[in-house]
Every structure is written in structure tokens, then in C-alpha cells.
Homo-oligomer: A and B are copies of this chain.
């Protein structure tokens, strides 16, 4: 046995090289031309017309508020529940824009889904198999999604339902080579400790092209990520995990120093969160159409009916979380000795499994801190809001997971700064790291939150080059 064993190379840099090659092709690949993409997506949108209507909770089908707790659940026990969460933050003092203790509704869905992109070398270049997919909370309903978005129920076949196309590549070994596979957290403010498996698998054999799917290069997806509301969140988080060896001469801090800073941030913060009955959540009120914060901040829980135009298309009702305003997610960027650095923020979110993850420099809904004085607002918010056009390296609108969130739209921005506006020695909780260092951390879970991952996907795909 021992004699015939062949060893693998532990670290294979070819995946990164091939990803950069794919990123270099922006106009066309072996499939759709980038210029033709919008028309193709529009055709897919028309092929399965959907209508999404807001409905009162009473019109939800199969969903009800549980008598004893007020928790919102499906009678089958499937999908997810909306419950209450009590959060207590210990550790360092919090700023005026943060609370030390609060209660809120939260989505509880304790299962690990798969977000998978199938890759295939075509004409010598890696192509990614992407899907036109409708999700009721997307502002334009149909966006570009990964090859597979599957819940645990989908892929274990516990529940009935149409089989998920291409799923086999991600759950059965031997059909492809794994390029990336890591559990990453979902939105910590809206989900309780939820994570999904982010996968890229390169198929060994020919892959049949199904309706609603198209092959795109990474460079083509980069072009689409410069447009508003085209590439969905699930695609973005998977692309953030793709191998990307950035060519960097060094960094302000060694990887060991970055890890040490992160460890200290995790150790000095203390997060305790426990589930509670939704009915008992303080400062939130329910009427026939929504559960909302008394000051109308943060988000609302609402209900929608999704109606398909044809027999083949399912109709259903479900609850969604709807933020109260347009969000802002921004990386402040500076070059040190010629190497671009991003200013990350160690964030506490109530639904994180492990205290803190790294977020973008700014992640907030500006409307929620509009009532605060400038000095009390989140650090660097004003820098981003007041940035001159020449400082803005990237700006596009993207929505978060449309299967759970209604019009959860964020302005994603990368802004250049200088020593005056963003010093080399930033406030506690912030650190300058390179894109390559974030990419190094993203081989592992629970380091980088989902919003920061969108911005890293944009860099990985070279939608912007710093």
C-alpha cells in the first residue's frame, strides 16, 4: 500500500493563478458576452414571472405566532423561526451609537446550508456556473446567484421538493476538485449563529448547461458587481472565499501580529445572548402587518406572498426581515509603503457564535445614528459620507440574502483616506490589514463577517484594483 501512495502538494498556488486569469477576462468568456448579460437576465426574469405582495401576518399560510411565546413559526417545523434575543455586551465600554444590553427579534435556523459555485476550465480559462434566481426580498427579484443554494433539508432530501440542480458536485466526493470550502457566518444582527458552507468546486467532466444557468469568467462577474443589484449576496460571499494570493511586498503587521490582535479583540469582548419569547422582547411592538421597534429603528418583521405566473412555479408565503433604511458598508483604504491596506473593525453582533468578527471600517444604517451628534456617530462614518468623488474607488448598491431579508440594501463603498482622516494608528478595535491578509483569514470561518466579505469579493474579482 505504502509504495503506491502518491502525495499531494500541501499548498497549491495554481488555483489562485487561474482565478486571476479568469478575472482578467472581462468582456466575454466561452458563454454569454458581458454586453449581452442584461438582456439574458431580463429574459430569465420574464420566463418565470413572479409577484411579491405584502400581506398581513394573518394571511401567512402555515405560519403562525405560537400561543405561549409569540414566536413566529411554520406548523411543519421547517424553514426557520422568528424568536426573541436578549443580548448583553461585556468588555470594553461601548460608544453612544452602541448599546450594552438590548432585546430584538432574531431568525433562528440552526442548520448549515451550502452555497456552491461550480467551476470548469473552458478554452483554458476557469469559468463559473452562475444562475438567474428569484428571491422575494431582492429589490429586482431576479439576481445572479451561485450554482447551488441549498438548505440542509434540500441536500439531505429530508423534505420533499424538486431536486437541486448540480447539487451532487458539492455533496458527493469524486465529481470535482475542491477549490474552496469553508463555513462562514451569516448576518450577526439578524440570524442567530447561522453559518453556511461556502464552496467552489471544479468539475472533472463536462457539465450540461441547464436553463437559467450561464458560464461566466470571474472578470465578467466583476463587471456585473460594478452594477447595482445584479450579483446576489450568496455569490459574493462565495467569491470572497476564492483563493487569491495578492502580490504584496509586506504588510504593516505580520500575519502573527494580525492574529494576535484579533485574539485580543475576541478575548476582551464578552457577548452573552440567549433566546427569549418574541412576545416579551422589550421596545418592539407587533401589529397586523409588522413587528417594529418603538422608535422605528433597525428593522421590521413583515410578511409577503410570492405568486408565480405559471403552473410550474411555486407560490408561497413567508416572513422577511426588512431594514428601515439604506445601509452603508465601507472600507477605508490607504497605501502604506506602496501596499494597499484596509481598515478593519472588530465588531460584536448579537448573533455571532464567537463574540467578534472583522467587519468593514463602517457598517451601519446612517438613519439609525442620524439623531446623534457627529462625535457620537460611528467612527469614520462622516469620512465616508463626506468623501470627495476622487476618493471613492468603488460604489455600488447590493442587497443582502433575498430569501430572508426584504430590500436589505446596502451602499458598498471603498474610500481612500489619508493620515488626517484615518491615522496609521487607528482607534481601539480597528486595524490596518492588507487584502491578502483578509484572504488568508477567509480560508477559515468566523473571522470576516458577511458584509466585509462582499467588499473582499469585489477585490478578489478585480472589480476594483487598489
Chain A residues close to B by CB (< 8 Å): 1-2, 5-12, 15, 110-112, 114, 152, 178-183, 197, 199, 243, 248-257, 259-260, 263-264, 266-267, 270, 272, 334-337, 339, 353-354, 419, 424, 434, 436-437, 440, 443-446
Do A178 and B266 touch (CB < 8 A)? no
Q: List 15 A-B contacts (CB under 8 A).
A: A1-B419, A2-B336, A5-B337, A8-B250, A8-B251, A10-B250, A10-B437, A152-B267, A180-B256, A181-B259, A182-B259, A183-B263, A197-B263, A353-B353, A353-B354
A416 to chain B, nearest CB (A): 12
A195 to chain B, nearest CB (A): 9
The complex places the Cα of A272 from the Cα of B7 at a distance, in Å, of: 38
A413 to chain B, nearest CB (A): 22
Do B110 and A272 touch (CB < 8 A)? yes
Stoichiometry, copies per complex: 2
Do B255 and A10 touch (CB < 8 A)? yes
The complex places the Cα of A336 from the Cα of B8 at a distance, in Å, of: 11
Query: If A110-B270, A256-B178, A272-B110 touch, does A251 touch B353 (CB 8 Å cutoff)?
Result: no
Q: Within the complex, which residue of B10, B254, B443 is in contact with A11, where a contact is CB–CB below 8 Å?
A: B254
- Apart from A10-B440, A182-B263, A197-B264, list 14 A-B contacts with CB within 8 A: A1-B424, A5-B337, A7-B249, A7-B337, A8-B252, A10-B255, A10-B434, A11-B255, A12-B256, A110-B270, A112-B267, A181-B260, A183-B266, A353-B353
Query: If A2-B336, A337-B2, A354-B353 touch, does A10 touch B270 (CB 8 Å cutoff)?
Result: no
The complex places the Cα of A252 from the Cα of B4 at a distance, in Å, of: 12
Do A9 and B254 touch (CB < 8 A)? yes
The 7 closest A-B pairs by CB, nearest first: A7-B250, A181-B260, A112-B267, A1-B419, A178-B260, A8-B254, A5-B336
Q: Which residues of B contact A446 (CB under 8 A)?
A: 354
The complex places the Cα of A114 from the Cα of B180 at a distance, in Å, of: 33
Do B267 and A8 touch (CB < 8 A)? no
The complex places the Cα of A197 from the Cα of B253 at a distance, in Å, of: 20
The complex places the Cα of A272 from the Cα of B197 at a distance, in Å, of: 19
Q: Which of the listed residues A259, A263, A272, A339 has the most CB atoms from chain B within 10 Å of its own CB?
A: A263
The complex places the Cα of A243 from the Cα of B255 at a distance, in Å, of: 12
* Residue ID in chain B nearest A447 by CB atoms: B444
Do B178 and A251 touch (CB < 8 A)? no
Q: Which of the listed residues A152, A251, A267, A336 has the most CB atoms from chain B within 10 Å of its own CB?
A: A267
Q: Which residues of B contact A8 (CB under 8 A)?
A: 250-254, 257
Q: Which residues of B contact A10 (CB under 8 A)?
A: 248, 250-251, 254-255, 434, 436-437, 440
A52 to chain B, nearest CB (A): 31
A71 to chain B, nearest CB (A): 16
Do B179 and A256 touch (CB < 8 A)? yes
A337 to chain B, nearest CB (A): 5
Q: Which residues of B contact A110 (CB under 8 A)?
A: 270, 272
